[in-house]
Chain A
Amino acid sequence: MEKKKPNNGGDQPQNRQWQPKIVAFLCHWCSYAGADLAGISRIQYPPNIRVIRVPCSSRVNPLHIIKALQHGADGVLVSGCHPGDCHYGSGNYLARRKFALLKRFLEFIGIEPGRVQFSWVSAAEGQKFASVIEEVVEDVRKLGPARRLVKNSVK
């Protein structure tokens, strides 16, 4: 019996439909291990994310996020350890302040609320990782392809 192919249209250009591309900055100690656990546990989640491993969620510079949006990401996810679990003690607390401001600021200038998202995922939460990715991909899919801030396409 023929296996049903997922409809992400890879090989046939005429069938190719837009798929959201999400850049996910995952902290090495928690969320990256959470993603690993999701993989080991064979938990399915959408293949739309491109993972970038960072030492800590507070390593992520707002410019990383802006640059991702400039160069073709439809959404950005930053994920780190739960409060209290940071490997470096306070990195995620500092990140939380920085991103609280950034999120409000990006929405203020007109970037849709779902484009840039944040989550806490621990190394034991493979299931949560999969559901976070599902949610983010679904949110961005609803928003459609990124048009704002994209280089060479702002009209």
Chain B
Amino acid sequence: MKQIQSRLRQTARQLLSEGKVDLLIGYRQGSLPLKTTPCFVSQEEEAVGLVWNSFCTNNLAVYLPGLFRPDPRSRKREEKKVGIVVKGCDCRSVVGHLKEDQVPREDLVIIGVPCQGMIDEKKIVAKLEGKEIIKAKEQDGQILVVDEKGQEIRLAKGNFLRDSCQVCQHPVPPLYDILIEGETARQALSDEYAEVKELEERSIDQRWEFFQREMSKCIRCYACRNACPLCYCPECFAEQSQPRWVGTTDDPSDIMAFHLGRIFHTAGRCVDCGACEAACPMGIELRKLTRKLIKDVEELFGYETGVSVEEPPPLATYKLDDDDEFIK
């Protein structure tokens, strides 16, 4: 981890000093323990502030489309080269951006970092049962946490991985300009979609109960949308007023319509980076819903998201022998 971090800083310094990138998006230490915060580096000297550890959870790809969006008046976009630090999942989001023509490949420098899985801060907080965390650091696959009484607690990293990291199949970025050397941990999985399948097997009323329960937590803060790298529309359907696609009330029906709309927009595009669920302040199990679509896209169209820029998106193409048994 420490090695990756120093290699990353060195690479960043070099790219900035040689003028190969004007701006570099990475992580720096957050103001709270167990957290990093996205940072935008444009000066060579600032590269020392970059960090790499098991708390680099944010998907930085979310910033890319905005950086390359043309000015609405002049319709021109600023000429700049952007470097971005990506894990496997973030990289697959970038592949999506490239595929959807949101980001010019020639102006992008992808710095891939092999990932060992990120920590879910909420799981550690839950484990400590209300103790305040003053300090936290990572050591030999363990997380060292110091609570408010100065007591040191050692936690095995493997037990606190994010849910999305536990089913990750792409710890190494599939597309990069520079790959930082380092180790990865690929998860051995018996069944990737066990959770989705479990829900599929329940009765229709139980599934509705699940959906209703999850949706009833929603406060419509739209954090899931804002954290999602796919949600780059300048104007979201949730806020359009002509036509008004979804009502803005807190009626459960409107909340459901918003989520159905948002989740279905990610069909065939979602890479399961887990940003939506991590951003949700109410703990809605959004990934069970998005993963259902990932599973179906794989089953119906044999398509895996975010691995190839050339392959057309599954909903923008078709085969003559696609399943049509459900049509009368």
Q: Is A43 an interface residue (CB 8 A)?
A: no
Task: Report B-chain residues with C-beta under 8 Å of the C-beta of A110.
Answer: 204-212
**CB distance A119 to B289 under 8 Å?**
no
Question: Smallest CB–CB gap between A148 and chain B, Å?
Answer: 6
Q: Is B292 an interface residue (CB 8 A)?
A: yes
Question: Smallest CB–CB gap between B275 and chain A, Å?
Answer: 20
Q: Is B139 an interface residue (CB 8 A)?
A: no
**CB distance B315 to A98 under 8 Å?**
yes
Q: Is A152 an interface residue (CB 8 A)?
A: yes
Residue of A nearest to B314 (CB): A97
Task: Report A-chain residues with C-beta under 8 Å of the C-beta of B101.
Answer: none
**CB distance A108 to B328 under 8 Å?**
no
Residue of B nearest to A120 (CB): B327
Residue of A nearest to B205 (CB): A110
Task: Report B-chain residues with C-beta under 8 Å of the C-beta of A90.
Answer: 318
Q: Is B254 an interface residue (CB 8 A)?
A: yes
Contact of B245 among A67, A94, A135 (CB under 8 A): A67
Q: Is A45 an interface residue (CB 8 A)?
A: no
**CB distance B296 to A105 under 8 Å?**
yes
- Count of residues in A whose CB is under 8 Å from the partner chain: 38
Contact of A101 among B204, B212, B293, B327 (CB under 8 A): B293
**CB distance A148 to B328 under 8 Å?**
no
Most buried by B among A93, A94, A108, A110: A108
Q: Is A70 an interface residue (CB 8 A)?
A: yes
Q: Which of B65-73, B164-172, B225-233, B255-263 contacts A (4 or more CB under 8 A)?
A: B255-263
B residues with a Cβ closer than 8 A to A are 199-200, 204-212, 237, 245-247, 251-254, 256-257, 260-261, 263-264, 267-268, 289, 292-293, 296-297, 300-301, 314-320, 322-324, 326-328
CA distance A83 to B206 in the complex (A): 36
Contact of B200 among A99, A102, A108, A117 (CB under 8 A): A108
**CB distance B322 to A93 under 8 Å?**
yes
Q: Please name 27 pairs of A and B residues whose Cβ atoms are closer than 8 Å in the assembled complex, sorted by A.
A: A62-B261, A63-B245, A63-B257, A67-B257, A94-B316, A94-B317, A99-B327, A100-B323, A101-B268, A101-B300, A103-B326, A104-B296, A105-B260, A105-B296, A107-B204, A108-B200, A108-B207, A108-B289, A110-B208, A112-B204, A120-B327, A132-B328, A135-B328, A149-B253, A151-B254, A154-B253, A154-B256
**CB distance A118 to B207 under 8 Å?**
no
Task: Report B-chain residues with C-beta under 8 Å of the C-beta of A67.
Answer: 245-246, 257
Chain B proximity mask over A112-154: 1 for CB below 8 Å, otherwise 0: 1000011110000000000010010000000000001111111
Question: Smallest CB–CB gap between B239 and chain A, Å?
Answer: 14
CA distance A118 to B325 in the complex (A): 10
